């Protein structure tokens, strides 16, 4: 059947090529071109509306917000002219070039709307570094776009483009040369003038309290202005080095013994304790055993950015300490780490295994996890998991973890990343999602029922062993709830507690250290403390900072943090520069 389909498609393409090779009279070409050109605004408008509906962007009213910033108007307009000229140079078709340029701009706004609705921040220059991460695009498309609807609408647009290719006015060599010259001139002025307004500031350095994620969330909500505003921050910025301060290191007396416990750490997607919401106070449906004896965890992202919580746990660092470019730590920081947690555990004799719920190419995960020090990386493709995140039960990942433990011949560290609770939350029909209703919270609680059941069942089986075993679980960030999460009143009255999740530790032996509310950058140290391990001087320093800052990271004494960075990053060379 597949072979017959291929033959049929090849035959159709051959006939279309033969059709396109037939000569067309100049008069007929001119008539078709005139009609197409006159109605170009109509084609552009219709294509824009279709793409907006497909992307669930109907409420955004592109025509309203796109031009609300004068910078956006000039930048988007300049991009339209330059891309249309570039398409003309390549295709030699005028009308087709205009339509392709308009479609490209619509795609930019469509992607911007999706990112705003899921993370609360616009497309920015940092995204351009990884524009061609095809695995990331594929995975996001499967979970955020209705691909069947997209195909139904894209197919006729594609066919119309083929017709225009055949009948459109065809520019000659001289016209294409003029278009190329104009493209280069426009590009020079565009870069020089369009990006002249970019701010020269680094809030994360000036105000230590500022969260990098919060900073990116305050960018202009329109894509071209946001891209221009973040162009200066595409490179990593190392924390300042000070030479007149010493970081006092508390001696660490723990030694790794021969009786090393197995360790399973679980990063649970978009998980927080719903009992912290005022709407859940006294509600039995909001009470889950998995949050019993849990502690508050401060994370560095909100509504998304799981890869940054992974980075913080593995490295003991906060991505925003390296400037806005640290947002893509799996690409530009993971390979530079010298003492990540799994690598240090491996040096003690551990077998290190990562179980990942989506394709390993997503946000460079496979390469990053190799750099973190994992011996084995098992991704969603190897596990044959459902491509839709919300249908991937946690127990499917735990089953693989249990299989690894049964076959283990030496101490094992397993890191599991779950995905079932990933947004969007609300109606099963994502196109009718209503953030003003309680649909998001109801959906969240419904998924949490399965997550709690799967996790508690795994813990019971895992800890029922003669071997020493340690279990840690933590939430990577709060769900976004389409921007409504930060506005939901909390039990303690705080409205803007966006960066609080939870963590807990269980074991089949007596834990040596009392758990406190802490920062995700210290969770590696918590693992070492509860497992009775010493992971080397870098993690000794991390433990010392944890103690000196009373488990707080960002708001710790700036001079102490500078001394810590100088000692670890420049003295121990924790980052290869």
Give the model confidence (pLDDT) of 154-176 as tens digits. 666 677 777 767 666 677 777 77
Any idea which fold 262-556+564-571 has?
Alkaline Phosphatase, subunit A (3.40.720)
> What's the average model confidence in pLDDT over 126-146?
64
> What is the structure's pLDDT at 97?
82
Identify the H or E element spanning 89.
helix 70-91
* Residue bearing the bigger pLDDT, 254 or 175: 175
Query: Is residue 489 predicted with pLDDT exceeding 80?
Result: no
- Lookup: tokens for 201: 């500031």
For position 201, what pLDDT does the model report? 43
Tokens at 287, concatenated: 């009470």
Q: Binning pLDDT at 50, 70 and 90, where does residue 403 land? A: very high
> For position 18, what pLDDT does the model report?
55
Q: Which residues, including other chains, have CB under 8 Å from residue 70's CB and lie 6 or more apart?
A: none
| Share of residues in the chain with pLDDT > 90 (%) | 33
Question: Can you give the pLDDT at residue 103?
Answer: 78
User: Which of helix, strand or coil describes residue 489?
Assistant: coil
Higher per-residue confidence, 394 vs 166: 394
pLDDT (average), residues 61-76: 59
- Whole-number pLDDT of residue 114: 73
Residue 118 confidence (pLDDT): 67
Of 10-19, 189-198, 378-387, 537-546, which one has max mean pLDDT?
537-546
**Choice among 104-108, 282-286, 535-539 with the minimum mean pLDDT:** 104-108
Percent of the chain with pLDDT over 70: 71
Mean pLDDT to the nearest integer, 550-577: 86
The pLDDT value recorded for residue 209 is 39
In the structure encoding, which two tokens stand for residue 111, read together?
A: 């992607």
Calculate the CA 216 to chain-centre distance.
13
What pLDDT does 235 receive?
78
Please give the average per-residue pLDDT across 188-204, as a whole number: 55
Contact 511, 335 (CB under 8 A): no
Mean per-residue pLDDT, 197-205 = 43
How far is the C-alpha of 290 from the C-alpha of 283, rounded, in Å? 16
Amino acid 129: pLDDT: 67
pLDDT of 316: 96
Res 552 pLDDT > 70: yes
Position 418 scores a pLDDT of 96
Highest mean pLDDT, choosing among 144-158, 362-376, 488-502 = 362-376
Spatial CA neighbour of 165 closest among 328, 36, 298, 318:
36
What pLDDT band is residue 214 in, cutting at 50, 70 and 90? low
pLDDT band of 34, cuts 50, 70, 90:
low
The pLDDT of residue 169? 67
Lowest mean pLDDT of 2-16, 75-89, 153-167, 424-438, name the range.
424-438
Mean pLDDT of 200-222: 54
Contact 386, 329 (CB under 8 A): no
Rounded to whole angstroms, the Cα distance separating 577 from 573 reads 8
Is omega for the bond preceding 494 within 30 degrees of 0, making it cis? no
* Extents of the domains making up the chain: 2-194, 262-556+564-571
Higher per-residue pLDDT: 191 or 293: 293
Question: Would you state the pLDDT for residue 132?
Answer: 64
What pLDDT does residue 64 have? 44
pLDDT at 324 over 90: no
Place of tokens 């000039």: 74
Cβ atoms of 230 and 547 within 8 Å: the answer is: no
Region 545-572: mean pLDDT is 86
pLDDT category at 434 given cuts 50, 70, 90 is very low
Sign for the pseudo-dihedral over CA of 141, 145, 149, 150: negative
What's the mean per-residue pLDDT of the chain? 78
pTM summary value: 0.79
**Parallel, antiparallel, or unpaired: how do β-strands 412-417 and 351-355 relate?**
parallel
Q: Grade residue 543 by pLDDT with cuts at 50, 70 and 90.
A: very high
Q: What is the pLDDT of residue 105?
A: 81
With a cut of 60, say whether residue 438 has pLDDT above it: no
């Amino acid at each position: 059947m597949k072979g017959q389909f291929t033959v049929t498609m090849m035959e159709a393409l051959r006939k279309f090529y033969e059709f396109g090779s037939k000569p067309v009279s100049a008069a007929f070409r001119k008539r078709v071109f005139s009609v197409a050109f006159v109605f170009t605004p109509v084609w552009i408008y219709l294509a824009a509306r279709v793409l907006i509906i497909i992307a669930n962007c109907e409420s955004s009213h592109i025509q309203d917000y796109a031009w609300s910033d004068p910078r956006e108007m000039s930048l988007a307009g300049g991009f339209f002219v330059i891309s249309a000229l570039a398409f003309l140079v390549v295709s030699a078709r005028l009308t087709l070039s205009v339509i392709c340029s308009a479609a490209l701009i619509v795609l930019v706004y469509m992607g911007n709307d999706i990112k705003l609705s899921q993370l609360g921040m616009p497309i920015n220059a940092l995204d351009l570094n990884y524009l061609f991460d095809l695995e990331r695009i594929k995975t996001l498309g499967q979970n955020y776009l209705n691909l069947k609807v997209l195909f139904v609408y894209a197919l006729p647009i594609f066919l119309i483009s083929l017709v225009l290719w055949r009948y459109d006015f065809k520019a000659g060599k001289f016209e294409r040369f003029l278009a190329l010259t104009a493209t280069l001139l426009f590009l020079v002025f565009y870069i020089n003038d369009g990006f002249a307004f970019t701010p020269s500031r680094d809030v994360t350095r000036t105000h230590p309290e500022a969260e990098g994620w919060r900073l990116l969330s305050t960018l202009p909500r329109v894509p071209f202005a946001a891209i221009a505003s973040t162009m200066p921050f595409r490179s990593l910025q190392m924390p300042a080095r000070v030479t007149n301060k010493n970081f006092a290191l508390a001696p660490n007396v723990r030694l790794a013994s021969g009786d090393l416990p197995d360790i399973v750490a679980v990063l649970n997607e978009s998980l927080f304790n719903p009992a912290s919401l005022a709407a859940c106070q006294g509600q039995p449906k909001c009470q889950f055993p998995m949050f019993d004896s849990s502690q508050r965890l401060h994370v560095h992202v909100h509504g998304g950015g799981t890869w940054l919580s992974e980075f913080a746990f593995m490295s003991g660092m906060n991505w925003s300490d390296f400037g806005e470019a640290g947002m893509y730590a799996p690409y530009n920081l993971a390979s530079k780490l010298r003492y990540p947690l799994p690598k240090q555990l491996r040096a003690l004799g551990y077998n290190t295994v990562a179980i990942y719920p989506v394709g390993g190419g997503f946000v460079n995960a496979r390469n990053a996890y190799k750099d973190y020090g994992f011996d084995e990386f098992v991704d969603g493709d190897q596990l044959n998991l459902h491509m839709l995140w919300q249908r991937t039960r946690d127990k499917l990942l735990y089953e693989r973890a249990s299989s690894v433990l049964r076959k283990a011949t030496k101490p094992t560290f397993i890191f599991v990343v779950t995905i079932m609770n990933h947004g969007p939350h609300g109606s099963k029909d994502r196109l009718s999602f209503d953030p003003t209703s309680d649909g998001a919270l109801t959906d969240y609680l419904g998924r949490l029922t399965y997550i709690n059941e799967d996790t508690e069942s795994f813990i019971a089986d895992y800890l029922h062993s003669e071997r020493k075993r340690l279990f840690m679980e933590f939430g990577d960030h709060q769900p976004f709830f389409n921007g409504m999460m930060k506005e939901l009143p909390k039990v303690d009255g705080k409205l803007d507690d966006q960066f609080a999740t939870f963590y807990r530790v269980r074991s089949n032996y007596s834990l040596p250290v009392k758990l406190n509310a802490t920062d995700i950058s210290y969770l590696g140290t918590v693992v070492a403390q509860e497992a009775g391990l010493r992971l080397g001087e870098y993690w000794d320093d991390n433990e010392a900072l944890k103690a000196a800052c009373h488990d707080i990271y960002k708001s710790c004494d700036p001079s102490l943090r500078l001394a810590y960075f100088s000692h670890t990053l420049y003295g121990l060379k924790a980052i290869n520069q």
